[in-house]
Structure 1
């Protein structure tokens, strides 16, 4: 997002943002401030639709929901820019084609001139041959210089356009990458998760359980946020995310499913292998000893509950997610800090 408002306009929006955050009981942190600044700026229809009931009708907004809206509507609202970059690249390619066409026209013109000169040489007037030759050579030199200059300018334009296209392509690649990542943890986001699971099921043999799904949820995360604050909560989310990332390999995909829940798509993994991996992750997190960076004070014991399920013939992504979620809920209902498998054996 780019902000080009004047100082007066920015101050006016700030005077609307701060009372709103206070009325909703939301902390004045960069995420909440940016979210409501964007809302009062009025240029994002989807954000306006999501927040208008809260702002105008006295609704409520949780910190987690505010963060989700920030990621969806502020951080990743780059689709227009992606389309614009695509248009700019097409324009650049059009310029290159035109420059090549122009250069080809110059070549044709030069070739035609040479033909005319050859014809003139064949029909020299003997009486004035020396003068005519001098004139023809002068014209040919002029044409040659023009051709060299035209090619030089074409090369410079082509180099400049190539550099511009390279910069646009790099920006486009960066935007596409950002659109697949969760801003807080650096893991894949929900879009990445959905695509990875659909692709894995599509490629899986129909009669074998080779795709396993882990749903991982941080136990009592709300109370951790209430006790330590959202900055510590964010630190815990990043710690769990990094533990999951280090635990998988190859084509396996780890993504933030939403809130304090993560999804892990395991390809070419037998059910018992998925269970062992989930148990190793659970134990690693249980044994962690996190501390506050400001005071060195230990943070309460962090644990996770995990549900594991593997694909069955004819599974769609929603089918596998639903069964893995059921296994996760069973882990929570049995006391948390455990792994439950939906499969048998």
Structure 2
């Protein structure tokens, strides 16, 4: 929970905020689970935060707040979702430190061996050149001490090796945790956080290379009707079906994600405008090519269709601006009757109103 929200729920207005959160959940027909309650506390307490803006967008689109949607929002926006990244970074630092210690111990052992050899040679020379004396005994004592240090160093190396192995196991586990944190739990596509990071990196890259990026937004037509008619479990089935079709066209140069609710995004990094439109239309036809049946009852769910809008990035255009244009193209597809693809170039430009 963010510091602002944590402060809000510990002050005199805490109960009022809690009641508002409950009322907002009831109005949106959302179950007051602990996770939903935390989300709605953020929604009420921080109305201008990215989480609240996204929740408002989903509410405006009449998106059903299923467990999967709530989990996706929590992963994207709640502060604790950053924990795995911080732990992973800490693990990497620890691993580097252990590696540095291992190098230092190897170097120390090498020096100790050289020192022991030097002492041994000195003892031999002293024995050969003079009768036994206190100096010879001192050298012998130092040699014994050096051997003891070497034995302790061997033990330390074994302990270090064992610790190094455990840290590597921990890093592997933390990497899996990080992948989970960047993956939508329902569809197994990347989630919004992962996609936003990748898109920002891609935009920065193409500013240097001059390459092309096109961004498509995909929305399931009449998704609310599936939820209202058949329930959220069937709605989740529809989401997974569309996600599987999107996953089939995802490649190393096409990045896809579930962006929120029934909305998906695909970034194309090697295709021109005509190719992007062909791919999106092929995807649209593929999804509509079969009628779904409800898994629990085998009822006929009918055909699922999608609407898509896409935009090709303009020089120096920000990820937000690119997404805004692709989103505008999507809504042209929606208003034109759905089950179609629209380019941002074909979408009407917003009117600029000037006042004198």
Give the TM bin, normalised by the shorter chain.
0.7 to 0.9
1:272 deviates by 1.2
Q: Does 2:93 match 1:90? A: yes
**How many angstroms apart in 2 are the aligned matches of 1:314 and 1:240?**
32
With over 3 angstroms needed to count, the CA separation of the structure-2 counterparts of 1:148 and 1:313, relative to structure 1, is closer
- Is contact 1:99–1:154 with CA below 8 Å preserved after alignment? no
Show structure 1 runs of 4+ deviating over 6 A.
51-54, 125-128, 135-138, 205-209
1:206 deviates by 9.2
The corresponding residue for 1:73 is: 74
- Is contact 1:92–1:161 with CA below 8 Å preserved after alignment? no
- Is contact 2:95–2:168 with CA below 8 Å preserved after alignment? no
The corresponding residue for 2:65 is: 64
- Is contact 2:273–2:312 with CA below 8 Å preserved after alignment? yes
**How many angstroms apart in 2 are the aligned matches of 1:217 and 1:126?**
93
Q: When the two structures are superposed, what TM-score results if normalisation uses the length of structure 2? A: 0.70
- Alignment length, in residue pairs? 310
- Is contact 2:123–2:139 with CA below 8 Å preserved after alignment? no
1:82 deviates by 3.3
The corresponding residue for 1:211 is: 213
2:310 is aligned, of 308, 311, 314, to 308
The answer to which of 162-171 and 237-246 deviates more is 162-171
1:34 deviates by 5.1
The corresponding residue for 2:352 is: none
The corresponding residue for 1:170 is: 172
With over 3 angstroms needed to count, the CA separation of the structure-2 counterparts of 1:340 and 1:82, relative to structure 1, is closer
Unpaired segments of 5 or more residues in structure 1? 1-15, 40-45, 55-59
Q: How does 1:98-177 map to 2 (within 5 A)?
A: 98=101, 101=104, 108=111, 111-112=114-115, 114-124=117-127, 142=144, 146=148, 149-177=151-179
Unpaired segments of 5 or more residues in structure 2? 1-17, 48-55, 347-356
Q: When the two structures are superposed, what TM-score results if normalisation uses the length of structure 1? A: 0.72
The corresponding residue for 1:264 is: 266
Report Cα offsets for 1:240-289 as digits up to 9, x if no partner: 11111112433111111211111111112111111111111111111222
Q: What do you get for the CA RMSD once the two structures are aligned?
A: 4.1
The corresponding residue for 2:4 is: none
- Is contact 1:209–1:310 with CA below 8 Å preserved after alignment? no
